[in-house]
Amino acid sequence: MIAPATNFDRYLDDEGVQLMLKLQQGDLDALDGLMDLYAPLVASVVRSVFGAQEYDEDVSQEVFLRVFQSRENYVPTAKFCTWLSLIAKNYSLNVRRNRARRKSVSVDASGLTLGIDCLETNATVTESSPDDGIKKAELDAKLRSAVSRLIPRQREAIELVYFQGVPCSELASRLGITAQASKSLLARARSRLRELLPQDVAYSLS
C-alpha cells in the first residue's frame, strides 16, 4: 500500500532526502554529496557495532554501496539519517555475525545500541506505480547505454560495483590492481559516465 503523499512532504526539506531523490533520478553527483555529509554518521554507527579497535573503513564504504543499490525503492518516510543509520547498523551486524561464524565464535549483538538522536521512525519501502516502473526502466536503459560507451577498464569497474554488486573492497583484487588504483579508476569512470549521460534525461550533472 502506498503511503499518503503528506507523509513524504514532511521530509522533503531534509538535505539527505533531497540528495537521495536526486540519486534516484540518476544524479551520480548526489552520491558524492551523501558520502560527504554522512560519512561521519556511518563511521559512528559502524564503530558502535564493531568497537573502536575493530572499526573497518571498508564496511562504511559498503554501506554507501547499499545506499546506491537501494535508490530505486527509496521513499522518504523518515529523516535520511534514520534510514541510513538503520542500513548501516543492519549491514554492520551482518558482517560481524558472518565474521564470527568464520571464526566459530558466538557473538551476541542484541545489546548493541546506536546512540544517535535522529532515529525517530523506521523507513518503509512502498510499491511503485506502473508509470514509475516505466520511467525507471527508461533511465536504467540510458544509463547502461552510457556505460557501454566507457573505455573497457572503466566499464568493467562500473559494471562490477554498481551492476554486479561486487564490494568496493574486492574491486582491486578482481581487477588485479592496487586498492588506491581501483578507487581512482572508479572515480574516473563515474566522472566520464556523467559526461556521457544524455542531457534530455532528468540528470543533474552540474
- CATH code: domain of residue 164: 1.10.10.10
The Cα 196–Cα 141 span in angstroms is 13
Which pLDDT score is estimated for 34? 92
Query: Are residues 139 and 89 part of one domain?
Result: no
The C-alpha cell 540528470 sits at 203
Q: What is the extent of the structural domain holding 15?
A: 5-102
Name the residue among 9, 27, 7 with its Cα closest to residue 190: 27
* Predicted TM-score (pTM) above 0.85: no
Q: Which pLDDT tens digit goes with each residue over 44-84? A: 999 888 887 776 777 888 898 889 888 889 999 889 999 99
When divided into structural domains, the chain yields a total of: 2
The Cα 161–Cα 168 span in angstroms is 7
- Of 102, 121, 147, the residue that ends a domain is 102
Residue 190, CA distances (Å) to 68, 106, 196, 204 in order: 13, 40, 10, 14
Higher pLDDT, 84 or 202: 84
Whether residue 123 lies inside any domain: the answer is no
Q: For position 27, which CATH number holds?
A: 1.10.1740.10
CB of 63 closer than 8 Å to CB of 87: yes
Q: Which pLDDT tens digit goes with each residue over 78-136? A: 899 999 999 999 988 888 887 776 553 332 323 322 223 333 333 334 445 555 566 66
pLDDT at residue 17 is higher than 90: yes
User: Residue 132: which residues within 8 A CB-CB, separation 6 or more?
Assistant: none
Query: Are residues 141 and 86 part of one domain?
Result: no
Which pLDDT score is estimated for 130? 56
Whether residue 78 lies inside any domain: the answer is yes
